[in-house]
Structure 1
Amino acid sequence: MIRKLLIANRGEIACRIIDTARRLGVATVAVYSDADADALHVQLADEAVRLGPAPAKDSYLDIDKVLDAARHTGADAIHPGYGFLSENAQFCRACDSAGIIFVGPPAGAIDAMGSKSAAKRIMEEAKVPLVPGYHGTNQNADILEGHANRIGYPVLLKAAAGGGGKGMRRVDSADEFHSALEAAKREAMNAFGDDLMLLERYVLSPRHVEIQVFCDQKGNGVYLFERDCSVQRRHQKVVEEAPAPGLSEELRARMGEAALRAAHAIGYVGAGTVEFLLDASGAFYFMEMNTRLQVEHPVTEMITGQDLVAWQLAVAAGDPLPLQQDDLHILGHAFEVRIYAEDPDNDFLPATGTLVRHRPPKASESVRVDTGVQSGDEISVHYDPMIAKLICHGRTRKEALAKLDRALQQYQIAGVRHNIEFLRRVINHGAFASGRVTTHFIEDYEAEILQREQQLTPLKCAAIAGYLNRRERQDMRESAPASDPHSPWHSGDNWRSGLAARRAHNVDYRGQHAEISFIATGDSVQWQCDALDGDIKSGEIRVLEGGGLALVDGRRLNFSCVDTGDGGVIFIDGTQVEFKLLPPDIGESDDSAHGLEAPMNGTIIALLVEPGAQVEKDQPLLVMEAMKMEHTLRAPAAGTVQQFFCAEGELVDGGSLLIDFEEE
């Protein structure tokens, strides 16, 4: 029996494990870096131990520090969560040598699946279907290109040691093979310390369907059905659901049995996921096996009624599986979406900043939120930008989808850019609603779900006017003389002798500039919006005091807002309106400045041209890394790189000037 558990992870998965351990009567120990000293998982655990500085290599990835924390606190087991050390065979062996239970598979199983090339050879022997490809050790670039030509384009380059889309590139022709190989190897080395690559035929329009398997130390194994994780961006999952839509019972059983063969072939123990590509004909091909708990495990828990973390702790302690295959049944349907700090309308660039507000929807039996953050927390450049996972369950797929959409409308985040509106566009798309999904879903429907230009609608104008009036009234009350409680300034109602005052503000809404003016009489605000394109809108809004409600042209709507200093964020009728107040234009703007700025906080990985170089439009100029992903800054037009204001290895802030660039 496990009595004290150290969680060698952070964020929502650490909080999730702590919650299950507490229900089982197991004491918990959190570990943290300097960036996480006040994090939610640290507050929830019974004890907490500092590992080191913010960079993961100096804290969460330092095996000796994690083991020292376990010894110091007397933990008899370590749960690695996912990411970091969860699939590190060296860490597993170090736990064994220290006499500490590793909550996961044996080191040999991690080794077997840790290399995608070795895994494919094992799967071939276990008669698990494989995608045609090359998984040898000869990494000569010309040899790899020869195999790509043999397989036929498009091909997929994949880092043998990794996952999560890192070190992965699609190559459509021989002309781009070498540059794609160099980029994939560089990203793989940065993420995993290993740049061994393998090649696969790129299966066109596949679905990504994975099987949850579980094995105990006594040789028993079950599969807990499948998850469809086809909707992805940059090879990272966005929406997951269970069961997979349209799968027959016969195909479900064949895939489950193949996944169990894969697990038994490597002597697997614990929770694992076997990932397959499924084509339109019903043929499926092994991709990889994740030797850990998956981010999307909650949808499996929702449709089976099982706690997979509790299963992990029991199996790690030597207990048999709590259920056999015939005891497991699919109960309804579940979805999970990942709430990220990122900008979907700007190539999904990760975002950093302070969560001024984090207010998830209310949890219930059918709505679950797994998160490791709270209002006031910082989303930093050091770790993955996932804020939370939202999971919804229903008796049918249609019901679960309706609950998910409602929950997304209720989710409020302010302070950082996020993907909630994007997620709503995805799940409300007709193709998704009917279950017609592939791994190219986002690319196929990009024009409909990546709405880069969102209009300043009358509802949004009304919301901004109502917020501005409310803020001005509050400012008046706060500036009223405290010594005179009868001062009319305490009313904050804009009363004056004569005509009512018209107030005007210049605002920016997603790059759209407009003047919003209004006349307020009591709670009633008559507003007008004059856009730069000559469009004029007008209407009325009444923000009701203390009730979180507003009347917009007679419609009664939910209303709340957050002051961000230079503007505000308003939540109204399931819509988020984020705007900035613009200073008055007094003719001092400088149009002569030119240069390229950092799109986010990150580290400069490579400078790709020399100062003084003449470049073409879209030519790569530098590569930066942020939140474990590489991003390439390209020339906006043909021109000259005058100089760099950064160096390789330097940590830069988002918005800082990186390149002095002069267009032709």
Structure 2
Amino acid sequence: MIKSLLIANRGEIACRIIRTARSMGIRTIAVHSDIDATMPFVQAADEAVRIGPAPARESYLVQARILDAAKVTGAEAIHPGYGFLSENAAFAEAVEAAGIVWVGAPPTSIRAMGLKDAAKALMMAADVPVTPGYMGEDQSPEHLQAQADRIGYPVLIKAVAGGGGKGMRKVDAAQDFAGALLSCRREAGASFGDERVLLEKYITGPRHIEVQVFGDQHGNIVHLFERDCTLQRRHQKVIEEAPAPGMDEATRAAICQAAVKAAKAVDYVGAGTIEFIADASEGLRADRIWFMEMNTRLQVEHPVTEEITGQDLVEWQLRVASGEPLPCRQEELAINGWAMEARLYAENPASGFLPSTGPLDRLRFPQGIRVDSGIAEGGEVSPYYDPMIAKIIVHAPDRGTAAARLADAARQVEVWPVRTNAAFLARAAADRDFIAGNIDTGFIERHADRLVPMAEPAEPVRQAAALALLPRDDGVWRRLSGFRANAAPDRRIVVDIADHNYLVELDDNAPRGRDVTVRGDRLLFLDGEAWPLGPPRASAAGAGAASDGALLAPMPGKVIAVEVAEGDTVRKGQKLLVLEAMKMEQAMLAPFDGVVADLMVKVGGQVTEGMMLTRIERGED
């Protein structure tokens, strides 16, 4: 068994790996950037090594520094986690060449599955069904346009390299193809250093289903059943669950067997995920499920598989890397109950899900369930890395109970002053169509009006706020039952002022919350949202356009495109420039017809939240 392990990653996944390694008696070594020096994963490790400044390209992506850290600390093995260098074949080879155990897929497998076009060709040869599309070498815009016309719209443009929704665009009409291709290539080049793309027929009403596979060094490969990752926003997964709703045993057997066949085609070792796209317009059927790609690493959503199988997948990784056979045979694995995972992000749904950065003066998670996180109260969400704060994971005997537990858990989240998507997650998990299993990858966009919380407080919040501001004494106000504050006669508010807990019953909606004071800010936490009870602390200027036409940065980030110059005439809605932060692009548009009077930024420049980017002067009427 491996005796010492360096984790070439950060945050939540580093904490997750350290937890299992410690239980197995393995010494752990963390590597960290300057900004991560006090993070929980650094403190949890037995040893830690600084590897550079905050930007990942100067720290977590610098292979030589990670290898040096492993050599200096005597690490016997390196676990790459997910993201960063986890699917970098050259790094895996360098680790093995240095005589260090690589806790991941073989470099040959990573290469075979790393490029989507080559992977699909390999799967076709292995008799694994793939989505119709184009994966050819001719990458000229004219040829790609012709192929898209042949496939038929809507069509999906996807970067050949990478994943995570980067370098992916849906095109609904021929006239939109050229612009989408340019944007896709720019994003793919910046993210993966490879601008090549492939085309796929866009599936109407698609479901995203993936199968967890595992192989050892003795030729054994098993599956640990499927996960459903259909609930997505901008191709980023939001809620994952296992097993997949509506999956019958025959279809499950077919998709899992196809996944094992795919893994065997590349002599797979370690944890991997075979991702499929399903046309669920007539329910899940084996003949309407196609291979998309393989992730040659552990997935963010692996906890739901652990919850339904009772297996520790990180422990499996470490045992397989140590040369041991798989801990279980296929017939020893079974599904037990239902699990769901929600990704808690530092973002503001009411502002288009823009990232939210800053200190975490308050960070409270629900009790009694599994929460995987890599940050603690008093820490800070920086603009340098993925904005995920935690994974909220529940397990129950059935899907309905799991969804109810997930919704309740999300409502209990308390975060300030950083904004989160907790209330959005609670609404999604409690949504009637989600509970009924009527989902596809467009679910969130289609139901945004009822899933995304309002920017201004709704009536239940105003009612609770009014009660929170009542004097706290031992008289009649201590317990109010049936009290109305400008409420209709059939609406009831109950408040227990003694412990600052509130129940606001409004028809069949009963949000729960409490008020607290955090560093001078008096707040009402209600159903996953935070509402100031009075003037909040001063903060950066808000995003958007001021009345004088000044466009302000909605988030800290990097300017990746500037499409105008001072003096240019622009039309309302015209794209002026593009910002990138936390794996997300944000286009800044002209607020009205006019002229670019001031341009304060250039490509490659860094901006802070609230910084003026450009100013548009109104054109003459």
TM-score, normalization: structure 2? 0.91
| Match of residue 254 from structure 2 | 254
- Aligned counterparts of 1:538 and 1:401: Cα–Cα separation in 2: 27
Offset, 1:450: 2.4
Any idea what SS the aligned residue of 1:157 has?
strand
- Among residues 398, 408, 411, which one is paired with 1:409 in the alignment? 411
CA distance in 1, matches of 2:511, 2:297: 48
Residue number among 507, 523, 531 corresponding to 1:578 in the alignment: 531
Against the structure 1 CA distance between its residues 334 and 187, is the aligned structure 2 distance closer, same or farther, given a 3 Å change threshold?
Answer: same
Find the aligned partners of 1:538 and 1:272 in 2 and give their Cα distance: 52
CA separation of 1:149 and 1:353: change in aligned 2, threshold 3 A: same
Is the counterpart of residue 647 in structure 1 residue 602 in structure 2? yes
Partner of 2:570: 615
Match of 1:353 among 349, 358, 361: 358
Match for residue 563 of structure 1 among 515, 518, 523: 518
SS at match of 1:250: helix
Alignment CA distance shift 1:570-1:172 (3 Å):
same
Matched, 1:145 2:98: no
Q: CA deviation at 1:34?
A: 0.9
2:339 to 330, 334, 337: 334
Task: Check the 8 A contact 1:466/1:542 in 2, yes or no.
Answer: no
Check 1:276–1:34 CA distance in 2 against 1; reply closer, same or farther (3 A cut): same
SS at match of 1:356: strand
- What corresponds to 1:436 in structure 2? 438
Q: How many residues align?
A: 598
Q: Offset at 1:385?
A: 0.2
The letter for the 2-side match of 1:170 is K
Pair 378,598 (structure 1): closer, same or farther in 2 beyond 3 Å: same
Answer whether contact 1:76 1:100 (CA < 8 A) is retained.
Answer: yes
Corresponding residue for residue 119 of structure 1: 119
Within 5 Å, give how 1:188-337 maps onto structure 2: 188-280=188-280, 281=282, 282=285, 283-337=288-342
User: CA 1:540–1:232 in 2, change beyond 3 Å: closer, same or farther?
Assistant: closer
Question: Aligned-pair distance for 1:558?
Answer: 5.5
Structure showing greater Rg? 1
Q: How big is the shift at 1:541? A: 6.3
Cα distance in 1, alignment partners of residues 469 and 38 from structure 2: 32
1:105 counterpart = 2:110: no
| 8 Å Cα contact 2:552-2:611 kept in structure 1 | yes
- Gapped runs of 5+ residues in structure 2? 537-545
- C-alpha displacement of 1:464: 5.7
Conserved? CA contact 1:529–1:538, under 8 Å: no
Distance 1:551 1:158, change over 3 A: closer
CA deviation map 1:276-324 (0-9, x unaligned): 0111242101110000000000000000000000000000111001111
The reply on whether 1:48 has 2:48 as its aligned counterpart is yes
Letter in 1 for 2:403: L
For the residues of structure 2 that align with 1:95 and 1:257, how far apart are their CA atoms? 32
CA offset at residue 549 of structure 1?
3.4
CA contact (8 A) 1:464 1:570 kept: no
Conservation of the 8 A alpha-carbon contact between 1:569 and 1:576: no
Q: Which residue of 1 aligns with 2:422?
A: 420
- For 2:412 and 2:613, the matched residues in 1 are separated by 39
1:251/1:571 Cα in 2 relative to 1: closer, same or farther (>3 Å)? same
| CA deviation profile, 1:605-654 (whole Å, cap 9, x unmatched) | 11111112121121110011101221111112222221111222111111
SS at match of 1:424: helix
Are 2:588 and 1:630 equivalent residues in the alignment?
Answer: no
Report the Cα offset of residue 452 of structure 1.
3.5
Pair 556,241 (structure 1): closer, same or farther in 2 beyond 3 Å: closer
SS of residue in 2 equivalent to 1:355: strand
Contact 2:60–2:66, Cα closer than 8 Å, also in 1: yes
C-alpha distance in 2, partners of 1:336/1:599?
Answer: 29
CA distance in 2, matches of 1:231, 1:616: 35
Change in CA separation of 1:56 and 1:397 when aligned onto 2, cut-off 3 Å: same
Alignment match, 2:541: none
Q: Given residue 174 of structure 1, which amino acid in structure 2 is its aligned partner? A: A
Instruction: Give CA-to-partner distance per residue, 1:422-444, whole Å, 9 cap, x none.
Output: 11111111110011111111122
Structure 1 counterpart SS, 2:497: strand
SS at match of 2:17: helix
- The alignment partner of 2:554 has SS state of coil
Quote the Cα distance in structure 2 between the aligned partners of 1:604 and 1:84: 22
From 377, 382, 395, the equivalent of 1:380 is 382
Shift of 1:15: 0.3
The secondary structure found in structure 2 opposite 1:642 is strand
| Letter of the structure 2 residue corresponding to residue 2 of structure 1 | I
Which sits farther off after the overlay, 56-65 or 193-202? 193-202
Asked whether the equivalents of residues 462 and 540 of structure 1 are also in contact (C-alpha less than 8 Å), the reply is no
Residue 358 of structure 1 aligns with an amino acid whose one-letter code is L
**Could you say what secondary structure the match of 2:203 adopts?**
coil
- Matching of residue 390 in structure 1 with residue 413 in structure 2: no
- Distance, in Å, in 1 between the alignment partners of 2:315 and 2:292 is 27
CA contact (8 A) 1:560 1:570 kept: yes
Q: Is the 8 A contact 1:414 1:562 kept in 2?
A: no
How many Å apart are 1:463 and its aligned residue? 2.6
- d(CA) in 1 for partners of 2:477, 2:339: 47
Q: CA shift at 1:346, angstroms?
A: 2.2
1:24-80 deviation digits (Å, cap 9, x = unpaired): 010100110011010010011100000100000100000000000100100000000
Specify the SS of the correspondent of 2:604.
coil
SS in 2 for 1:414: strand
**Aligned partners of 1:277, 1:522: CA distance in 2, in Å?**
56
The separation in 2 between residues aligned to 1:126 and 1:339, in whole angstroms, is: 38
Question: Once the two structures are superposed, what CA deviation does each residue of 1:177-200 show, in whole Å capped at 9, x if it has no partner?
Answer: 111111111111111111111111
1:507-539 deviation line (CA, Å, top 9, x unaligned): xxxxxxxxxxxxx999699x9999xxxxxx999
Measured in 2, the distance between the counterparts of 1:649 and 1:298 equals 38
Within 5 A, what are the aligned runs for 1:417-496? 417-457=419-459, 459-463=461-465, 466=468
Secondary structure at the aligned position of 1:217 is classed as coil
Instruction: Return the TM-score normalized by structure 1.
Output: 0.85
Q: Write the distance in 2 (CA, Å) between the matches of 1:131 and 1:550.
A: 51
Change (3 A) 1:116 1:550: closer
What letter corresponds to residue 653 of structure 1 in structure 2? Answer: T
Q: Measure how far apart 1:136 and its partner are.
A: 1.9
Match of 1:157 in 2: 157
Task: Pick closer, same or farther for the CA change 1:201–1:556 going to 2, 3 Å.
Answer: closer
Kindly indicate whether the alpha-carbon contact (under 8 Å) linking 2:500 and 2:516 is maintained by their aligned counterparts in 1.
Answer: no
CA shift in 2, pair 1:424/1:556, >3 Å = closer
Q: Which amino acid counterpart does residue 571 of structure 1 have in structure 2?
A: F
8 Å Cα contact 1:132/1:200 also seen in 2: yes
Q: Is the 8 A contact 2:304 2:340 kept in 1?
A: yes
Letter in 2 for 1:179: G
Say whether the 8 Å CA contact 2:413–2:528 is kept in structure 1.
no
Percent of aligned pairs with the same residue?
Answer: 51
The one-letter code sitting in structure 2 at the alignment partner of 1:312 is Q
- The change in CA–CA distance for 1:312 and 1:288 in structure 2 (over 3 A counts) is same
Contact 2:362 2:416 in 1 (8 A): yes
Paired residue secondary structure (2:405): helix
SS at match of 1:85: coil
Q: CA deviation at 1:410?
A: 1.8
**How far apart in 2 are the matches of 1:556 and 1:90?**
52
Q: Which amino acid aligns with 2:318?
A: L
Answering whether residue 36 of structure 2 is matched by residue 36 of structure 1, we say yes
